[in-house]
Structure formats: structure tokens, C-alpha cells
A = this chain, B = another copy of it.
């Protein structure tokens, strides 16, 4: 069965607007990234929103949860800004017990040469295929249980809470 990918925005998909000099969201780079990775995993990509995760509201999170619950797929990847990824993961973990949901993102926009995005996408796609049911964050080459992860604001790295 296909893997469902829900796009919500985040650093991953930020572009540089050369007229205004600001970072903004255009289209998701997911299809381009999967093509570059020569991925042969059947996926179904749907963009739910394109926002900075610091601006994500409870209503946005409800929307993500509802889509995860209603999806026919049992394996789901959610691309997400890193700042509140752990918060969304925790909320999803309270509602979804019978699917494998992996949240991932990037510290640097994909279009920057120094982005971690392609690496993270490769690992998220692998984790969602192999981890048991549950909600996880896939960052820094590792996976974290949704109820035991936080982003260290100083180092920018994800780590266990306890």
C-alpha cells in the first residue's frame, strides 16, 4: 500500500523571493526530492498547509490529526517546521494509535546547498516503513517517540526529554 505524505510547510520548503529578499513558501519540494532520491516507494502527497510551525495553531493541528485519522494508509509522513514539531507529535500521539506516523523537517531550506532535507526525507521514508505503530519524530538520523522528544533551542538538535 502507498505511504501518505502530508505537507505542512516548515523550513523544508522555504524559497528565497528575489524581489522582496524574504523567505517564503511556494510549492513543496517533496516530489523533486523523491525523484532525486530515485525513490520507488509508492507515495501519495497532499499539501495541507504551507506555514511556519511557529504560526501553527491548535486548529491547524486538529486538521492534521483529522487527515491522519481519515487517511486509508497505515503509514504516514508529515513534513513540518522543526520549532513546534515535538508539540504536534505529542498531540497526534494522543489521538492516533493504529498507524505509524513519522514527522520530519529540515534545519535549512532544501534549496540551500547545505540543507539536511534530502537526508531527513530518506530517513523518514525508511523509518515509516519499519517502525511499529506509533507517532515519531525523525531528525538528526534518529527517531524519537512522540512523548519523549524536544528540540534543543540552543543547539538546534532533537533529543530525548528524559
CA distance A119 to B35 in the complex (A): 10
Residue-by-residue, is A135-151 near B (CB-CB < 8 Å gives 1, otherwise 0)? Answer: 00011111100000000
Q: Of A60-68, A87-95, A103-111, which stretch is located at the interface?
A: A103-111
Contact of A119 among B19, B114, B119, B154 (CB under 8 A): B119
Chain B CB within 10 Å, residue with most, of A127, A139, A154: A127
Indicate whether A118 reaches chain B with its CB closer than 8 angstroms: yes
User: Can you sample 14 A-B contacts with CB below 8 Å?
Assistant: A16-B114, A19-B154, A21-B23, A36-B114, A38-B156, A39-B142, A40-B140, A111-B112, A112-B112, A122-B123, A126-B127, A126-B138, A129-B143, A130-B131
